[in-house]
Amino acid sequence: MNSQRLDTLVNTYAKANGVPPALVRAVIDVESHGDPSAVSRAGAQGLMQLMPGTQAMYGVGNPFDPGSNLAGGTHYLHDLLARYHNNVDLALAAYNAGPGAVEQYHGIPRSPRRALTSRG
């Protein structure tokens, strides 16, 4: 996908959902490296790597359509920022691991890799 089209979509949906465009770009970079056809081992799909349940919740009919993926992903990110009172760290942790994990750990869940390296 060309970067000008991606920037236009990011700016459009970030503005529509009240999310900073730079945050949306960062999520895309980390999650899919800008590849709208990306699929994770866990089953997350598209630019913002939305799981099927999140796609259904936010009405994303085609997760590989950049506009549809960004519409759902930025709305989800907006809702997480609102849920965690604009705490970007908690919102991103919930985006990545799920809100249930953030609630269970009362904060940012430890990754298995961090847990292994911090034991020694």
Hey, what's the torsion of the CAs at 6, 49, 12, 61, to 10 degrees? Answer: 110
What contacts 109, CB < 8 A, 6 or more positions away? 93, 97, 101, 102
Catalytic residue annotation: 31
Query: What is the distance between the alpha carbons of residues 108 and 91, in angstroms, rounded to a whole number?
Result: 9
What contacts 83, CB < 8 A, 6 or more positions away? 91, 94, 99
Please work out, in degrees rounded to the nearest 5, the angle formed at the alpha carbon of residue 89 by the alpha carbons of 69 and 12: 30
